[in-house]
Structure 1
Amino acid sequence: MDTLARLKAGQLAGSTRLDLACGLTEFPREIFDLADTLEVLNLTGNALSSLPQDLHRLTRLKILFCSSNQFTELPACIGRCENLSMVGFKSNRIRQVPAAALGPKLRWLILTDNCIEALPDEIGDCQLMQKFMLAGNRLTQLPASMTKLQKLELLRLSANRLAALPDWLLTLPSLAWLAWAGNPMSADYTTPHDEDGISADVAWAELQMEQKLGEGASGIISQAVWRGDTPVAVKLYKGDMTSDGTPLNEMNACIAAGLHPNLIRVEGKLKGHPQGVAGLVMELVGPEFGNLAALPSFDTCSRDVYPADTRFSADALLAMARGMAAVAAHLHHHGINHGDLYAHNTLYTAQGQCLLGDFGAASFYPQDGSQTAAALQRIEVRAFGIWLGELLERCDEVQPQWQALQHACVQPDVLARPDFHDVIAALA
């Protein structure tokens, strides 16, 4: 019996999570029978265009997913759900975001791939907001009231219609992960500055695809053999828009990043895929490397999840910190903001070798010595500081100067933070 039938038969009493993807055009009223327990409601992949006005009867509801439906407006009724903290309406047809839809406990709002042209000033009243996903909309400006979002850490603005980043945005004390690629800004904010000679194409016919290695928000990575004898990794992109931005921006950034010991080498762009799928061909990373951490959970929101027994030696920690600071300095020297400097995007070995991956949120900015350029680098320095802090928490031999550096990197005054060359010097 499928989930909807079981719901209607009263067989899901006591459930804390409900997933329904069965072509729904109306909200099943039987969901209210779970009001005393339901915390996560996932209605992604249906044909809904509205939600009931009495949705607030789901008094324990914390997480609501309604992506890939037919909403043209963010439903105002969700703002009355007193415990709702995470809301996802990706890939709908949303044009309007009414103020009433913004609840008091909202921490994580996903509105990627819609048609939103403006946000209400009341967005600034979402004082708990930590993650705000807006890539792939039609925004021409952001409300200045967002200066009140003092806890905002991750903001995705890629593929909108912004002519510039507002000055106030670069002063937000908690902002660490920012993406803006694909907006009609000046050329220095939208194009690669230096490709370091990596611009080759790799023909699909030259690849022998093997097993799948992993899957992320933007694509699927598989092992392959190139030209009969070279092991490589091939990333095939899923579509035209991800939560971070577009595959084209990611590919441009990967190529523009050039060569560095702490980057996965790019062999070239894929050409000639039978279905026209975009892709990148990269060096195959050895099996001695593993993921430093897992993606944030619903509970941790903006913080990665580590296995409970994770510990690092002082030598390994220092090696990783030096490697990450060096590659970040390299990227910013080329005018590239990674935008997603996280442990879950870091591959590492027990000895402290590390590689930074996933350029899905990368963006370009001019190396003009301006205050804007300085602020953009120091926003990423905060991301490094958070990354370093997570490692320090899992090391038994922490040096006082490492703690001092970590505190300097995450301090709320953006321009008072060190730049990456200062970080390198402090770790020398």
Structure 2
Amino acid sequence: MHTLEQLRAGALAGIVRLELSCGLTEFPNEIFTLADTLEILDLSNNALSSLPDDLSRLRKLRLIFCSANRFTTLPSVLGECPALTMVGFKSNQIREVPAAALPPQLRWLILTDNRVEALPAAIGRCGQLQKLMLAGNRLSALPQELAACTRLELLRIAANRLTELPAWLLDMPRLSWLAFAGNPFCAADEQAASDAAGIAGIGWDQLQLQQKLGEGASGVIHQAVLRQAGGEQAVAVKMFKGAVTSDGLPRSEMTACVSSGRHPNLIPVLGEVLDHPDGASGCVMPLIDPGFGNLAGPPSLDSCTRDIYQEGKRFSPAELFGIAGGVASAARHLHERGIMHGDLYGHNILHCGQGRSLLGDFGAASLFAPDAPHAAGLQRLEVRAFGLLLDELMERCELPAARQAALAALRTACVSEEPTARPSLANVERCIVSLQA
């Protein structure tokens, strides 16, 4: 984090990334002295409500973050910044998104946790758009023009006021990660799942939190001790970060978790945290063997939608087939229960280095009726996400020529830009098992 004093003293000359969080109520004009080099500007956690009309003087600016400020309108001046590809205005009070505010090279737009009621039709002109984060707003519909954004891969529309899931959405050629829970059109499915599943309550006073194990978009996970009548048990506790996360609502995640049932490649839920002193929500899970670790890291600002793997990471054929087969089986199991994971990514998969894998983090999960008209389309969408995961595994594994060719054909079918041409996850699983033998 930088300081205003450093900026004014000229101590930050030549930097590429500037982060200021110091109660700003106005945009510091001294930022323009960095115009020759500044590419990333982070003004989150201030009290700003506007940006200067000449922001485009920052001609190299690629990414801007203004989360947790006081904007009520997405500034139109953003659309005049020629190099701007990522715009993040999470947790403001934004109601209006002017067409002029959309930069021509936009790849990633974050408007999570605002008050947006409609998107402009002009969003259809954002031909480079790959990632669109809109959870926790007041949208009652999506503009049909969004269908023209054929590069769109990740869409978060959970916790809005949508009365239907647009049919054209499932025809988008590259859409792979979708979260829509917490909308009126799926409320009945969520309520039915919640009523059917049931979940044990675990009092906060029964838990003793220990070290932090990890953190995701929706919450923080700690190791803990669960005290019960039968003794003590080592567990993991996930505490949700707030009322709305980047993926949706904690309650929707909880419902998906407890509805997922038992599967060897899923992490079960033991119970829901009750009576937290601050009213926070959380869930309790078995503690996973420390020999398991994340398959990959989440996407970077530059990779946008693709995970980051450790430099030099390699998989043996046995590991590849173990991970791919386990994840395909888990995802197929979820689909049969009317659950779309919504975030089928390497960074949400734990593996032990011997091929066993566990699919976790249901923050983006959504429920659907398996016999609903859009059910097949939802499942094909997630097949593409699996195909991208398979591609990442194959890039890091040497296979015999025949198996390489067969697996490459499967990957190509999974990522087809014609959704109806993709195989079902049941067929994907069968193919992987046959190649593994």
What TM-score do the two structures reach when normalised by structure 2?
A: 0.96
Note closer, same or farther for the CA distance 1:312–1:198 as it changes in structure 2 (3 Å cut): farther
Q: Matched residues in 1 for 2:5 and 2:163: separation?
A: 50
User: What's the offset of the Cα at 1:43?
Assistant: 0.2
Report SS of the residue matched to 1:191.
helix
Alignment of 1:198-209 (within 5 A): 199-209=199-209
Q: Which residue identity does 2:193 align to in structure 1?
A: H
Report SS of the residue matched to 2:184.
coil
Q: Matched residues in 2 for 1:147 and 1:9: separation?
A: 48
Alignment of 1:22-421 (within 5 A): 22-193=22-193, 199-227=199-227, 228-368=231-371, 370=373, 372-397=374-399, 399=403, 400-421=405-426
User: What's the offset of the Cα at 1:192?
Assistant: 5.0
Q: Matched residues in 1 for 2:256 and 2:262: separation?
A: 12
Q: Matched residues in 1 for 2:232 and 2:262: separation?
A: 22
Contact kept, 8 Å, 2:177 with 2:342, in 1: the verdict is yes
User: What's the offset of the Cα at 1:193?
Assistant: 3.3
User: What's the offset of the Cα at 1:297?
Assistant: 0.4
Contact kept, 8 Å, 2:253 with 2:362, in 1: the verdict is yes
Structure 1: 5+ residue stretches without partners: none
Q: Matched residues in 1 for 2:408 and 2:82: separation?
A: 38
Please list every run of at least 4 consecutive aligned residues from structure 1 whose deviation after the TM superposition is greater than 4 angstroms. Answer: 186-189, 194-198
Contact kept, 8 Å, 1:152 with 1:174, in 2: the verdict is yes
User: What's the offset of the Cα at 1:248?
Assistant: 0.7
Q: Which residue identity does 1:409 align to in structure 2?
A: C
Q: Matched residues in 1 for 2:132 and 2:6: separation?
A: 35
Structure 2: 5+ residue stretches without partners: none
Report SS of the residue matched to 1:234.
strand
Q: Matched residues in 1 for 2:50 and 2:33: separation?
A: 19
Q: Matched residues in 2 for 1:318 and 1:15: separation?
A: 45
Q: Deviations over 1:216-273 (max 9, x none)?
A: 2211110011124211000111110111001111111111112111111110101121
Note closer, same or farther for the CA distance 1:360–1:25 as it changes in structure 2 (3 Å cut): same
Note closer, same or farther for the CA distance 1:158–1:267 as it changes in structure 2 (3 Å cut): same
Matched, 1:14 2:14: yes
Note closer, same or farther for the CA distance 1:27–1:320 as it changes in structure 2 (3 Å cut): same
Q: Which residue identity does 1:94 align to in structure 2?
A: I
Q: Matched residues in 2 for 1:347 and 1:246: separation?
A: 23
Contact kept, 8 Å, 1:196 with 1:259, in 2: the verdict is no
Please give the root-mean-square deviation of Cα atoms over the aligned residues, in Å: 1.4
Q: Matched residues in 1 for 2:406 and 2:31: separation?
A: 54
Contact kept, 8 Å, 1:195 with 1:257, in 2: the verdict is no
Number of positions where the alignment pairs a residue of Structure 1 with one of Structure 2: 427
Contact kept, 8 Å, 1:183 with 1:190, in 2: the verdict is no
User: What's the offset of the Cα at 1:274?
Assistant: 1.6
Q: Matched residues in 2 for 1:187 and 1:57: separation?
A: 46
Q: Which residue identity does 1:48 align to in structure 2?
A: L
Q: Which residue identity does 1:294 align to in structure 2?
A: G
Q: Matched residues in 1 for 2:185 and 2:372: separation?
A: 18
Q: Matched residues in 2 for 1:279 and 1:250: separation?
A: 10
Identity score, percent: 56
Contact kept, 8 Å, 1:130 with 1:302, in 2: the verdict is yes
Q: Deviations over 1:362-406 (max 9, x none)?
A: 001111163x11000000000000011100000011622111111
Q: Deviations over 1:334-371 (max 9, x none)?
A: 1000000000000001110000111000001111163x
User: What's the offset of the Cα at 1:198?
Assistant: 5.5
Contact kept, 8 Å, 1:77 with 1:101, in 2: the verdict is yes
Q: Which moved more, 1:395-404 or 1:167-176?
A: 395-404
Q: Matched residues in 1 for 2:340 and 2:82: separation?
A: 37
Contact kept, 8 Å, 1:223 with 1:234, in 2: the verdict is yes
Contact kept, 8 Å, 2:2 with 2:18, in 1: the verdict is no
User: What's the offset of the Cα at 1:194?
Assistant: 7.4
Note closer, same or farther for the CA distance 1:186–1:141 as it changes in structure 2 (3 Å cut): same
Q: Deviations over 1:164-219 (max 9, x none)?
A: 11111110000000000000115454335378856111111111221111122211
Note closer, same or farther for the CA distance 1:322–1:195 as it changes in structure 2 (3 Å cut): farther
Report SS of the residue matched to 2:95.
coil
Q: Deviations over 1:9-50 (max 9, x none)?
A: 111100101000000000000000000000000000000000
Q: Matched residues in 1 for 2:84 and 2:390: separation?
A: 31
Q: Deviations over 1:137-179 (max 9, x none)?
A: 1111111111111000000000000001111111000000000
Q: Matched residues in 1 for 2:105 and 2:149: separation?
A: 13
Contact kept, 8 Å, 1:177 with 1:341, in 2: the verdict is yes
Report SS of the residue matched to 1:406.
helix
Report SS of the residue matched to 2:100.
helix
Q: Matched residues in 1 for 2:186 and 2:240: separation?
A: 27
